[in-house]
Amino acid sequence: MKKYFKSALLLLCSVCLFAACADDNDSNPTLKIPETFVLNTPNYAGYTVDLKSTTDSLSLSWSQPDFGGFPVAAHYMVQVSKGDSFKVSQEQADADQTGAKKADYANLSSVLTDCKYKYSAEELDKLIEQLNGWDETNIPNKANVFVRVMSYIPTSTGTTDTVYSNVVKLNVAPYYVMLKAADPELWYLIGACIGDGQWTNSADAVGKSMIPMYVAPDQTYNAKTGKGIIEYVGYLTTAGFKVVKTPGSWEDQLGSSDGALTIVHNDGGSSNICVPSDGYYKITLNTENYSMTVVPYTPAVSTYPQMLIAGDFNGWGTSTAMTACASSNNHDWFYDLDTSADKTTAKFLTDSSWSTNWGGNDFPRGAATQGGANIPVDAGKYRVFFNDITGVYMFMAK
């Protein structure tokens, strides 16, 4: 039996159907919410997956739910349960201040628009370790994992009734890993108006053809996934750009459906995102649902001919220059810092007078302020990024 979805969308369709000729009623589709849809059983479900030794991505695929022939753009999320119950989500348990609710399932993926998903064995291992509350003393040699896919149709007022796929059972050999809060999920700008404008999509091009977006100082991020709101402020031209998740891959990207500022996620035919005129803009991206805005940035902006970095690592010398990411109207700088031998400190400055300098208390990312504190830096190798408009910085481990 099918459930009928009652919404503003259905009401609009009903009005159109009522106005149409009676002869056309049978040919016009009606939006229906099916009882279920098919999650395909992957070939690795037939054996025990050693999560520690599995380095290749694991794949899932499913059929699109039958919405009665009605053309819709469904969204999906992959969910994992420790006991095939799917009663209390991780989000529900986290929101319960009494601590009485214990999660028995969690989302493995963020919002998807394709009927497929690739994930790493490490991602699954961390998720089921968290759900089960395992530590190094009680993690089992083998465990069962239950996977399903949730589908829904987004609307302007929320979502429709959800529909779930069948459940697929997986057999895994988990291993213990020390859990820590996930780093914020970063996305990268690339395009004719970004960096050197060469569209070079590779890890080596980060800082040259690709510029990372920055964490927003006033935001918090999902401890499990690192998802949340990231930002970028800089000079853009009408030449166009896109946003990609992983350097070297176009698989996860944001483009435009109209060659302007209507943003789409993973649309194979998407155009470049183009601002209406050259100038300063603020880009805000929510990595949880891929919503993104590009709006003019109106505060006054200073442009600097150089940017220096100083700290204990160079004896607080004032001759260590950072590299400009763009040849004109540049406000993003990077520097490769090797402090493997010991921890250090750092600040950013425009010249040897120290009249304009930035510092901060946070590591490996934060928002520096004029004349702020020395940034504490852990031992390691980093590509350091700094935006001189907003003062945001990050030390990206190499």
CATH 2.60.40.3620 in the chain is located at: 308-397
Is the N-terminal amide bond of 42 cis, ω within 30° of 0? no
Residue 28: the pLDDT is 65
Name the fold adopted by 308-397: Immunoglobulin-like (2.60.40)
Beta strand 168-173 pairing with 48-50: parallel
> Three-state secondary structure along 46-97?
HCEEECCCCCCCEEEEECCCCCCCCCCCCEEEEEEECCCCCCCEHHHHHHCC
CATH 2.60.40.10 in the chain is located at: 37-173
Q: pLDDT tens for residues 317-328?
A: 999 999 999 999
Q: pLDDT tens for residues 238-295?
A: 999 999 999 988 888 999 999 999 999 987 779 999 999 999 999 999 998 899 999 9
Beta strand 105-107 pairing with 75-81: antiparallel
pTM score, two decimals? 0.66
Mark 341-379 as b/e (b = at least 16 C-beta within 10 Å).
Answer: eeebbbbbbbeeeeeebbbbeebbbbbbeeebebbebee
Asked if the model's pLDDT at residue 395 lies above 50, the reply is: yes
Write down the architecture of domain 37-173 according to CATH: Sandwich (2.60)
Q: Which of 2.20.25, 3.40.50, 2.60.40, 2.60.120 would CATH assign to domain 188-296?
A: 2.60.40
